[in-house]
Amino acid sequence: MQPVDFTTLKAACDELRANWLPSRLEQVYQRDRYTIAVALRTLKQRGWLEISWHPQAARICIGEPPPRSPDTFTFSQQLVHQLNGLALVAIEAIAPWERVIDLQFARRPGESALHHIYVEVMGKYSNVILTDASNLIITAAHQVSQQQSSVRPIQTGQSYETPPKLTGPVPSLSESQARWQERVSLVPGAIKRQLLKSYSGLSAALVESMLLAANLAPETSTDNLNAEDWQRLFARWQEWLQALDLSKFQPAWTENGYTVMGWGAVAPAKDIQALLNKYYNDQLNNQLFLQLRHQLSQKLNNILVKLRNKAQTFTDRLQQSDRADDYRQKADLLMAHLQNWEPGMKEITLPDFETSKPVAIALQPDKNAVQNAQSLYKQNQKLKRARAAVEPLLLEVQTEIEYLEQVEAAIAQIDNYQTVEDLQALEEIRDELIGQKYLEDPEYRSRSTNETASTNFHNYRTPNGFQVLIGRNNRQNDQLTFRVAGDYDLWFHAQEIPGSHVLLRLEPGAVPDTTDLQFVANLSAYYSRARQSDRVPVVYTQPKYVYKPKGAKPGIAIYKQERILWGQPQSIVETRHSASVQEKSPL
Mean pLDDT per block of 10 residues along the chain (587 residues) reads: 96 97 96 95 96 96 93 94 95 94 96 96 95 96 83 90 88 96 94 95 95 95 95 97 96 94 94 96 95 95 96 87 78 89 90 88 91 87 81 91 93 91 93 91 47 75 95 94 95 95 94 95 95 95 94 91 95 61 40
Q: Please name the helix (run of DSSP H) or strand (run of DSSP E) that holds residue 360, with its range, or none.
A: strand 358-362
Q: Where are the beta strands (DSSP E) in 11-126?
A: 23-32, 35-41, 46-52, 59-63, 87-93, 100-106, 115-120
CA distance 278 to 324: 67
How many residues does the structure list for the chain? 587
**Helix pair 420-435, 369-413: axis angle to 10 deg:** 150
Report whether 474 contacts 554 (CB < 8 A): yes
CA distance 486 to 503: 9
What letter represents residue 108's amino acid?
Answer: R
CA–CA distances in Å: residue 346 to residues 351, 353, 370, 518: 17, 22, 14, 67
Report whether 76 contacts 88 (CB < 8 A): no
CA distance 467 to 523: 12
What's residue 379's pLDDT? 80
CA distance 65 to 501: 32
Ordered structural domains, the chain, with CATH: 6-140 (2.30.310.10), 177-269 (1.10.8), 319-399 (no CATH), 458-579 (no CATH)
Residue 334: HSE in the Cβ half-sphere, 13 Å Cα cutoff:
27
3-state secondary structure 210-234: HHHHCCCCCCCEHHHCCHHHHHHHH
Residue 182: HSE in the Cβ half-sphere, 13 Å Cα cutoff:
5
CA–CA distances in Å: residue 44 to residues 18, 41, 124, 222, 266: 13, 8, 36, 52, 32
What's residue 576's pLDDT? 55
pTM: 0.78
Question: Cα torsion for 212, 217, 222, 225, to the nearest 10°?
Answer: -80
Degrees, nearest 5: CA angle 368-372-375 = 140
Based on C-alpha coordinates, what's the Rg of the chain? 36
DSSP letter at 449?
Answer: T
What's residue 380's pLDDT? 82
Report whether 507 contacts 488 (CB < 8 A): yes
Buried b (16+ CB within 10 A) or exposed e, 294-333: eebeeebeebbeebeebbeebeebbeebeebeebbbbbbb
What's residue 450's pLDDT? 41
CA distance 524 to 540: 10
CA–CA distances in Å: residue 322 to residues 297, 312, 471: 37, 15, 42
CA–CA distances in Å: residue 542 to residues 162, 189, 464, 498: 68, 71, 20, 20
CA–CA distances in Å: residue 517 to residues 463, 520, 540, 567, 568: 10, 5, 9, 10, 12
What's residue 448's pLDDT? 41
